[in-house]
Amino acid sequence: MKDPLFEPITIGALTIKNRIYLPAMHLAMAKNFQVTDRLVDFYAERARGGAGLIVVGNTTVDEVAGFALYIGAHSDDFVPGLTRLASAIKENGARAAVQLNHAGRYSHSALMGGKKPVAPSAIASALTKETPEELDRDGIKKIVQAFADAALRVKKCGYDAVEVLNGTGYLISEFLSPVTNKRQDEYGGSLENRMRFGLEVMKAVRGAVGPDFPLLARMDNNDFMEGGMRSPELSQYAKLLVSECGVNALCIKGSWHEARVPQLTANVPAGTYAYLAANIKNQVDVPVVACHRINDPFVARELLRDGYCDMVSIGRSLIADPYFPEKARTGREKEIVHCIGCGQGCFDNLFKFQPVECMCNPMAGHEKDRAVEKTGKPQNIMVIGGGPAGMSAALAAHAKGHKVSLYDKAERLGGQLFVAALPPGRQDFANLARDLATQISLRDIDVHLNTTVDEALLGAQKPDAVILATGAKPLNPPIAGIALPHVVQAWDVLADRVQTGENVVVIGGGAVGVETALFLAEKGTLPAEALKFLLVNRAESCETLYELATHGSKKVTMLEMMKQIGQGIGISTKWVMMQDLKRFRVDIKVNTRALEITQASVKVQTGDQIEEIKADSVVIAAGAVPVNELAQVLEQKKIPFKIAGDARKIALAFDAVHQGHEAGRTI
């Protein structure tokens, strides 16, 4: 049977070797709009990894279309860099395209030297909190021409195609939506008028690049905004893009950045939003690309075979593993390191205006500066701890040419990743544990499980150097009654090693506390298969099904001494968890200190007020402390060592993987 993922496809006059489309992703790797070596190295590696079509960007069409960390296409000054990037992609086996975009009201004057953002109407952005200037007709015409000029510019740079972003809450979609378009002229009001700007842009681009140059459009089929655009209207727009503007392919996605429906976070089931592509595929006669959380070849193939789409957009999964396509093509799918949707290195970095990195792949964005150089003096390296830091360290040390032995006291590699995988929607963390363990198994690394490393074992093995990645242990705060039998640790709750009662108080509102509260609050809710059965049989109303899906069997209260909960949760996923805490009726008490735990309650203080909260179970989620006692032994024995992960300092799994890699490549 032919593999649908690796069947060639034609977009206009362009033949692409497979169905894998790397979408445009803002990487924050440009400098003053210029393509950098870092960008070239990043995309060249993904081309070597086997992607069929690589779309870079998004790229700016004028000076207020974005800020300096975006790739620029609005001036001939950027042509040399754009040309070099196109060459790097094509020389390494992929087709190259550029996505053009204007951010509209998502631009921010503080990032553009004081220049004001522009939009169809002067309506403040929920992201920037800034009110844009309303475009007049002359301003509209200038932007239409800017798109056309940029398209011709990138064509001359050697790209195989050009794509225009028509969605996501940026300028074209701002004209499309009645939420952001309140104009009274020919560009506002009716759907026909609101579509006018986007169609003018696409026609101008088509005119600039000529009739035979492949033109793509990326757009929403549901913006998930209250009062926004849904499939019927957006499908009508999609058909006009094809029939009136000569668009050769459509990349169909969902959601604006400010919408409150998760699109890319770990709790989104793989391939969920492919139905949006299917909505369009049935109405146009050009290739359609499906998007969002397609992180496994099996899912990708099923979407193609089942007729949802003609290509699959695989973005962050190619950040996590650039060789995802080649591994799938050659029957080595078990070797893929999957994206787990954590957002810790990609979206969280962007919110900090830092270049994209990856928790699963410490080399992402560092293809050259973190390259592991072979040592001329191989040593015997002992890595103690088989969690994310230890496995990452062992892999890097082995790549350097050392003889590596990996020790862990547990019966499997993975450490706290398996605990992190237990809260609702976080199961992919376990996939990372398994993926890293697979990488270990593919190399000549001696693995010793169920083994505690002590002074005697160190003396017997006589390592030349040690990497200490022994993790952390839960912290017990000094609260009266903490030793009572109904008081348990959050890690034990998540691992289902203990039973909790109906009224549960979680002490601690950091990342582990939030995850544990959600884990408990979902107990007794209706599972997905049951919900689908009742829905398709119309056994209950949608309102009743929603209640059954969100109203569990436990009353959960979370206490936090600080004024906010969620410390340690990345910004790209925190808002999703905050929504879920509300949906699942978790009672949150901030600025609240636990004074005493009794047999039936927890006595707490909020300001000057003291109260008792009923509790037949109390869960401690008050943080953790490093486990690194062996450091003293290593110092005494004068064995060189490095510490990585939580054994060094309590942090994120991202930090553990990256610190482990750095320890391994520099030892």
Which pairs from 17-20 meet CB under 8 Å and 24+ separation? 17/52, 17/93, 17/95, 18/50, 18/51, 18/52, 18/325, 18/329, 19/52, 19/300, 19/304, 19/310, 19/311, 19/312, 20/50, 20/51, 20/52, 20/53, 20/300, 20/311, 20/312, 20/314, 20/324, 20/325
The residue-averaged pLDDT of 115-143 equals: 96
168-183 confidence digits (pLDDT tens): 999 999 999 999 999 9
511-534 confidence digits (pLDDT tens): 999 999 999 999 999 999 999 999
Query: Over pLDDT 90: what percentage of the chain?
Result: 98
Domains of the chain, each with CATH number or no CATH: 4-351 (3.20.20.70), 380-473+625-666 (3.40.50.720), 476-622 (3.50.50.60)
Whole-model pTM over 0.75: yes
At 596, the pLDDT band (50, 70, 90 cuts) reads very high
pLDDT value of residue 562? 95
Q: Could you tell me how far CA 186 lies from the centroid of its own chain?
A: 39
pLDDT value of residue 497? 93
The residue-averaged pLDDT of 565-592 equals: 95
472-490 confidence digits (pLDDT tens): 999 999 999 999 999 999 9
pLDDT value of residue 194? 98
pLDDT of residue 333 exceeding 90, the answer is: yes
CA–CA gap between residue 55 and residue 286 (Å, rounded):
18
At 435, the pLDDT band (50, 70, 90 cuts) reads very high
Mean pLDDT of the chain: 97
pLDDT of residue 1 exceeding 80, the answer is: no
pLDDT value of residue 116? 95
pLDDT of residue 577 exceeding 80, the answer is: yes
Q: Transcribe 265-323 into DSSP letters.
A: STTSPTTTTHHHHHHHHTT-SS-EEE-S---SHHHHHHHHHTTS-SEEE--HHHHH-TT
pLDDT value of residue 568? 86
pLDDT value of residue 454? 96
pLDDT of residue 504 exceeding 80, the answer is: yes
215-258 confidence digits (pLDDT tens): 999 999 999 999 999 999 999 999 999 999 999 999 999 999 99
The verdict on whether omega for the bond into residue 628 sits within 30 degrees of 0, i.e. cis, is no
CB proximity list for 536: less than 8 A, separation 6 or greater: none
345-354 confidence digits (pLDDT tens): 999 999 999 9
